[in-house]
Structure 1
Amino acid sequence: MLDFIAALGLVFAIEGLLFAAIPNLAKDALRSAAETPADRMRLIGIASAVLGVVIVWLARH
């Protein structure tokens, strides 16, 4: 559970830095994501989740 909380904290920290450092680019990215079809977003989400699990697995082994 501690690992999950630490990972969640990192997500907030990285997103916060993104919005603080380059807010206009972040807004453009969010606007682009809103215009992306749901099927493509789903595929990107699945691919990102799988990549994240692989990275964590590689880091732990």
Structure 2
Amino acid sequence: MQDFLTGIAFFLIIEGLVYALAPSVVAAMAKRLPETPQSQLRVFGVVSLALGVGLVWLLRG
């Protein structure tokens, strides 16, 4: 459970840095999001998921 909470904390830190350092980039991306095809969003999500699982596997293995 501690590892899970640590992961959530790191996620919040990274998200906070993005919003703090580049809020205009985040706003521009949010405006373009509805125009992005769902298939492209789904592929990006699956790739991100696979990279995250792979990274955890390498770090824990």
Q: TM-score under structure 2 normalisation?
A: 0.87
- In structure 1, the gaps of 5 or more residues are none
Match runs of 1:28-47 below 5 Å: 28-47=28-47
CA apart distance, 1:31: 2.2
Identity percentage over the alignment?
36
Residue in structure 2 matched with residue 22 of structure 1 by the alignment:
22
Give me the CA root mean square deviation: 1.1
User: 1:6-47 deviations in whole A, cap 9, x for unaligned?
Assistant: 101111111011101111111112223332111111111011
Cα separation, 1, equivalents of 2:56 and 2:33: 25
List 4+ stretches of structure 1 deviating above 6 A. Answer: none
Q: Secondary structure at the match of 1:42?
A: helix
**Equivalent residue pairs, number:** 61
- In structure 2, the gaps of 5 or more residues are none
Q: TM-score under structure 1 normalisation?
A: 0.87
